[in-house]
Amino acid sequence: MGLLKFGNVIKFIPHPLITGFTTGIAVIIFSSQMKDFFGLQMDAVPADFLGKWSAYAANLSSINLYAIAIGAFTLLMILLWPRVTNKIPGSLVAIVVTTVATQLLDLPVETIGSKFGAIPSSFPEPVLPSLNFSTIQELIRPAFTIALLGGIESLLAAVVADGMIKGNHRSNTELIAQGAANMGSSIFGGIPATGAIARTATNIKSGASTPVAGIIHAITLLIIMLFAGQWAAYIPMATLAGILIVVAYNMSELRHFISLLKGNKSDVMVMASTFFLTVLVDLTVAIEIGMILAAFLFMRNIMQSSSVESLNLANDAEEKDDEYASLPKGMEVFEIHGPLFFGAAYKFKDAMKIVENHTQILIIRMRFVPIIDATGLGILKEVNEDMNKRGARLILSDVNSEQVIQELRKSRLLFRIGRANVTKTLDAAIKRGKELLIERDNNQPAKNLAH
């Protein structure tokens, strides 16, 4: 994506979709920590959201009060420690205090070591994956989704960092670096990693201002793994649950989520659909359906904002000149507002149906048409052919968009309509129309009628 310069494109993914997805992820993270936070004694937790909470409810009798106390202490430390200092994270203080307390007091709570076994203190052996076509077919879809989400998350974190340090990140370079790092990490059994808003913001608040801070962050984690892994095994799972609950809350952007619910219906629909699909169905499905829904709603909004109307010059403040106060008999003027693309083309087609058969000159004003697609070109072609069959003429005025001019030229429609019949102003279009009417009334061969 970075090599293909997709970095700038990813940043234009609809914000309601991102909000719905990240809030849904936050709910999933929160839900996954309930077992460890309450110290529930139960078998493997179901993967689906509703199954998780049903299992929690069925095992409420096994609550561990020590685990709850450790989790609650962790939450308080994270919330209150910043009042003491921002140089040392409250989560780190909570980990040290609860780990020491658990070992000294021999508290009956689950730890990383008791749950997962010993933490390795050396690099895992590099292993190249064994790939075949069937594996690629199975994994290409989730791999693309993970890459897309990772890119979105990282670029969002970069945008937040830009605002905090008054910087300007390079989107495509970020994607290339992240992709290379994740491919290298996977050889050693690593999982995909992204730039994270929460850690980035914490880093900046601690004084970070350059990419070197991220490098130091990575080196620090490496040192901890190599030399302090044996101590990390004693960390209580309830402590990690408390930390992840705070991470989930910060990630959810709850206030922003609620404020978006008060916005327009299209944004609410995209956000709510993405949120519920993320929580209840699947992350991949949520992104796919969210993007499709956002695209359809965007097209609907564009269609609603576009219009085609008969132009009454007598009521047009810009066209009050006596010369154009009224149109000659046999001349009609229509104006298009908005892009003439497949979603809005039906409005133009319906408007053209009311053009009377006695209309000899049809002027279509396009000053507010920024783009046109193949469907719009096709309808213009139909109108032009219909006018020619009746011995009438089509004139396009105010064609100011370079994209529209290029499309008219490439489709040969500019040639069919005639260059003389494509004008830059409405005045010129009406003048051209009057010339054609005079030539017709004089029953003379229409000089330059089409070209």
pLDDT digits (tens, 9 = 90+) for 123-169: 788 998 888 899 899 888 888 888 887 887 788 778 777 877 888 88
- Mean pLDDT is lowest, of 51-55, 182-186, 282-286, 408-412, for 282-286
Contact 248, 23 (CB under 8 A): no
Tokens linked to 282: 């699947």
Do residues 39 and 111 share a domain?
A: yes
Instruction: Note whether residue 274 is domain-resident.
Output: no
Question: What's CA 87's distance to the chain center, in Å?
Answer: 34
| CATH code of the domain in which 320 resides | 3.30.750.24
Do residues 229 and 377 share a domain?
A: no
- Number of structural domains (the chain) is 2
Q: Note the pLDDT of residue 314.
A: 43
- Mean pLDDT is lowest, of 34-48, 319-333, 401-415, for 319-333
Do residues 249 and 389 share a domain?
A: no
Residue with the bigger pLDDT between 317 and 12: it is: 12
Do residues 223 and 330 share a domain?
A: no
**Average pLDDT of 210-215?**
86
Q: Mean pLDDT across the chain, nearest whole number?
A: 84
Which of 232, 262, 292 represents a domain boundary (last residue)? Answer: 262
- Mean pLDDT is lowest, of 54-63, 125-134, 295-304, for 295-304
% of the chain residues with pLDDT over 70:
92
Q: Note the pLDDT of residue 444.
A: 52
Do residues 116 and 216 share a domain?
A: yes
Do residues 15 and 79 share a domain?
A: yes
pLDDT band at 110 (very low <50, low <70, confident <90, very high): very high
Question: What's CA 364's distance to the chain center, in Å?
Answer: 36
Cα distance between residue 87 and residue 66, in whole Å: 29
Instruction: Note whether residue 433 is domain-resident.
Output: yes
- Mean pLDDT is lowest, of 250-264, 314-328, 420-434, for 314-328
Which of 204, 239, 262 represents a domain boundary (last residue)? Answer: 262
Do residues 136 and 16 share a domain?
A: yes
Do residues 328 and 180 share a domain?
A: no
Quote the domain boundaries for residue 399: 307-441
Q: Note the pLDDT of residue 317.
A: 42
Amino acid (one-letter) located at 306: S
Instruction: Note whether residue 402 is domain-resident.
Output: yes
Q: Is the pTM of this model over 0.75?
A: no
Residue with the bigger pLDDT between 406 and 302: it is: 406
| pLDDT at residue 321 greater than cutoff 50 | no
User: Phi-psi bin for 189: left (phi > 0), alpha (psi -120 to 50), beta?
Assistant: left
| pLDDT at residue 320 greater than cutoff 60 | no
Do residues 384 and 321 share a domain?
A: yes
**Average pLDDT of 340-353?**
75
Q: Note the pLDDT of residue 315.
A: 44
Instruction: Note whether residue 342 is domain-resident.
Output: yes
Instruction: Note whether residue 407 is domain-resident.
Output: yes
Cα distance between residue 234 and residue 241, in whole Å: 14
Q: Note the pLDDT of residue 11.
A: 63
Residue with the bigger pLDDT between 140 and 353: it is: 140
| pLDDT at residue 56 greater than cutoff 90 | yes
Do residues 165 and 49 share a domain?
A: yes
Instruction: Note whether residue 282 is domain-resident.
Output: no
Do residues 15 and 77 share a domain?
A: yes
φ, ψ for residue 351 (rounded to 5)? -65, -35
| pLDDT at residue 406 greater than cutoff 60 | yes
Instruction: Note whether residue 300 is domain-resident.
Output: no
Q: Note the pLDDT of residue 279.
A: 92
Q: What is the pLDDT of residues 388-399, one digit of tens each?
A: 888 889 999 998
Instruction: Note whether residue 140 is domain-resident.
Output: yes
Q: Note the pLDDT of residue 443.
A: 59
Most confident of 196-205, 211-220, 272-281: 272-281
Q: Note the pLDDT of residue 265.
A: 86
Q: Note the pLDDT of residue 55.
A: 92
Q: Note the pLDDT of residue 356.
A: 62
pLDDT band at 327 (very low <50, low <70, confident <90, very high): confident
Do residues 332 and 240 share a domain?
A: no
Which of 262, 294, 324 represents a domain boundary (last residue)? Answer: 262
| pLDDT at residue 436 greater than cutoff 90 | no
- Mean pLDDT is lowest, of 99-103, 108-112, 225-229, 326-330, for 326-330
